[in-house]
Amino acid sequence: MTYEFILSEKKGRVGLITLNRPKQMNALNAKVMQEMAAALYAFDADEGVGCILITGNDKAFAAGADIAAMKDYSYMDAYKSDYITRDWEHLRKIRKPVIAAVAGYALGGGCELTMMCDLAIAAENAKFGQPEINLGIMPGSGGTQRLPRFTSKAIAMDLCLTARMLDAQEALRAGLVSRVVPVDTLMEQALAMAEKIAGYSLPVVMMIKESINRAYETSLAEGVLFERRVFHSQFALEDQKEGMAAFVEKRKPTFKHR
């Protein structure tokens, strides 16, 4: 399938989505989000894909929602059409891990998109921020909720109230990204990370994602109970038998993803 504003391709067991509106710094309009959702669901349904990677270009992961597209909206336009939300929430329904590989700007909706992914790897030139206050609005796609959970209240207040940007090292220290790499190695390292994940047992990978995400939705006791129930269920997997047998027999496991 070909898209207007994204590129979608398979690299081995990795599904790669590249935001492709370079002249607009990958600003996110409704069509971008619809296309991204279609590509995400296609990869999620594809047995041959074990991990999904979303990236932009060297200058911008995404500089936010498309300001030109929304500038004339009225309250009723936004409310009645459930503006943006409808197309943005698809990402949270994807069951395979989604990695954000971020170079350049990840601002506003771009930063929120990063946080909706399961993990993020940043190039040294990455910049993260929620500068909506400059536009006379506030973050609208989880920025005020995910940022304090993933970093801290102080950092979330700082970014949302002053429009200050975090550089890649600050984002690493704050817990927003898990790795920082040189710009020219971002895709190589992000793909290596995605391929590594995609090489493991797919149901186990999906259960880990589900369990970690639970930590943000529930109490510790409930989360630990959820983890235990899922953990016990893994003794029903062929991949558990194979993984443990391979360890005992001192060989590499061959996972069948079931």
- The residues that are catalytic are 65, 109, 112, 132
Closer Cβ to ligand DAK, 64 or 97, answer by number = 64
162 binds ligand DAK (CB under 6 A): no
In sequence order, the β-bridge partners of residue 54 are 17, 100
The single residue among 64, 97, 203, 253 that binds ligand DAK, judged by CB under 6 A, is: 64
What's the CA gap between 121 and 100, in Å, rounded?
6
The single residue among 84, 123, 205, 207 that binds ligand DAK, judged by CB under 6 A, is: 84
Burial class of residue 246 (count of CB atoms within 10 Å of its CB; 0-12, 13-18, 19+): middle
Tokens of 95: 């069951």
What's the CA gap between 120 and 177, in Å, rounded?
5
The single residue among 5, 43, 105, 255 that binds ligand DAK, judged by CB under 6 A, is: 105
Question: Which listed range, 64-72, 95-103, 184-192, 218-226, lies at the site for ligand DAK (CB under 6 A)?
Answer: 64-72
Q: Which helix (H) or strand (E) holds 67?
A: helix 67-70
Closer Cβ to ligand DAK, 92 or 196, answer by number = 92
Handedness of CA 81, 146, 67, 135 (dihedral sign): positive
Tokens of 85: 């939300």
Closer Cβ to ligand DAK, 62 or 206, answer by number = 62
- What is the closest distance, in whole angstroms, from the C-beta atom of residue 66 to ligand DAK in the complex? 4
Q: How many helices (H) and strands (E) does the chain have?
A: 12, 10
The single residue among 83, 150, 200, 226 that binds ligand DAK, judged by CB under 6 A, is: 83
Footprint of ligand DAK (CB under 6 A)? 24-25, 27, 63-68, 83-85, 88, 105, 107-109, 112, 131-132, 134-135, 140-141
